[in-house]
Amino acid sequence: MENIISVQKITPVAHPILDSIKKRWSPRAFAQTPITENQLHIILEAGRWAPSASNIQPWRVLWGLKGTEMYDRIFNCLDDFNQSWAGNAQMLWINAFKKTMEKNEKENFHALHDLGLFMGNVIHQANSMGIAVHQMAGVKFKQALSEFKFSEDYHVATAVAFGYFGGDPDDLNEDLKKQELKQLRERKEQSTFAFNGNFENKK
């Protein structure tokens, strides 16, 4: 299956990096090609092999494919802004993590970090399949905890939208369409966050 990235992004790297990192971006418009359950499990398998502190693997994923009740339940837990575009996605996730260590009630301070490592694997795998990934902080966390029967030992962290690259930006409202079509990507310079010496408080 050939998928065309309709929006060409420019990534002005200061040093050579992997093409898979350079070409990654997070659209809000997706192609209408369905994602299959088999493709879902390939993506989850990539995440499964992410590193985690003491190999606890604290991540938990709730998933739904478009057209299913589970998709709608996840969609209803998104905030209003994300609901305005995430219906374009062919798959939605809720990401949560276990807040404590496995064998005792000691807080696992690394759980959110480990969920991030899990998602790094997920993004690389999905992108290699032509599937774009857009992570969302805008989740109704308390509603999701209740809706999906999480115990107090878990925290809902993010939601995620998946769909094939090649969506039509005209599916978005005007403000989001402008963001979608913006070509130049931006990141802070290394000097603002990496120090060979004492920490410097830079914005």
Superfamily covering domain 24-171: NADH Oxidase (3.40.109.10)
For the chain, domain boundaries: 24-171
**Per-residue pLDDT reduced to its tens digit, 179-188:** 999 999 999 9
pLDDT digits (tens, 9 = 90+) for 11-20: 999 999 999 9
Separation between Cα atoms, residue 31 and residue 183, nearest integer Å: 19
- Asked if pLDDT for residue 28 goes beyond 90, the answer is yes
Residue 3 has a pLDDT of 46
Q: Residue 1: what pLDDT? A: 42
The predicted structure's pLDDT at residue 6 = 66
Q: Are 58 and 115 in contact (CB under 8 A)?
A: yes
Residue 2 has pLDDT above 70, yes or no: no
Look up the pTM and report it: 0.93
Strand bridging mode 91-98 / 154-164: antiparallel
